[in-house]
């Protein structure tokens, strides 16, 4: 295993351990025989939050209702799977994770702006 790949895995393993990710191997990406240390949904959520953060730097922020809807999409996928109604796939978990992560950051950002306006 390359030193860089090992550092990447250790970083995501740390995040997974401290974020509540279940890290079930069947629900994680596998690249060249190495299993990613975060599940696909958590990986997507992390990437969605990073993407939303980057866009916020360019003053592109959605309204809170959009954030709630986006977070609900991820929640609906989880709930359908949890209730045994429809088995989710890693691809769908990843996509809904990205959407949910984007929505979560949107809510965080809007709440932060709201609090900032109240204080100042």
Convert the pLDDT of each residue in 44-103 to its tens digit. 999 999 999 999 999 999 999 999 999 999 999 999 999 999 988 999 999 999 999 999
What does pTM read for this prediction? 0.82
3-state secondary structure the chain: CCHHHHHHHHHHHHHHHHHCCCCCHHHEEEECCEEEEEEHHHHHHHHHHHHHHHHHHCCCCCCHHHHHHHHHHHHHHHHHHHCCCCCCCHHHHHHHHHHHHHHHHHHHHHHHHHHHHHHC
CB 74 within 8 A of CB 103: yes
């Amino acid at each position: 295993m390359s030193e860089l790949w090992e550092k990447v895995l250790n970083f995501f393993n740390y995040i997974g351990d401290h974020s509540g990710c279940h890290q079930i191997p069947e629900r994680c990406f596998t690249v060249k025989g190495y299993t990613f240390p975060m599940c696909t949904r958590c990986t997507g959520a992390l990437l969605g939050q990073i993407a939303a953060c980057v866009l916020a730097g360019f003053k592109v922020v959605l309204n809170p209702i959009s954030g709630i809807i986006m977070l609900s999409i991820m929640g609906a996928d989880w709930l359908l799977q949890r209730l045994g109604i429809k088995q989710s796939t890693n691809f769908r978990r990843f996509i809904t994770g990205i959407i949910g992560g984007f929505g979560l950051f949107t809510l965080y950002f809007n709440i932060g702006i709201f609090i900032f306006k109240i204080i100042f």
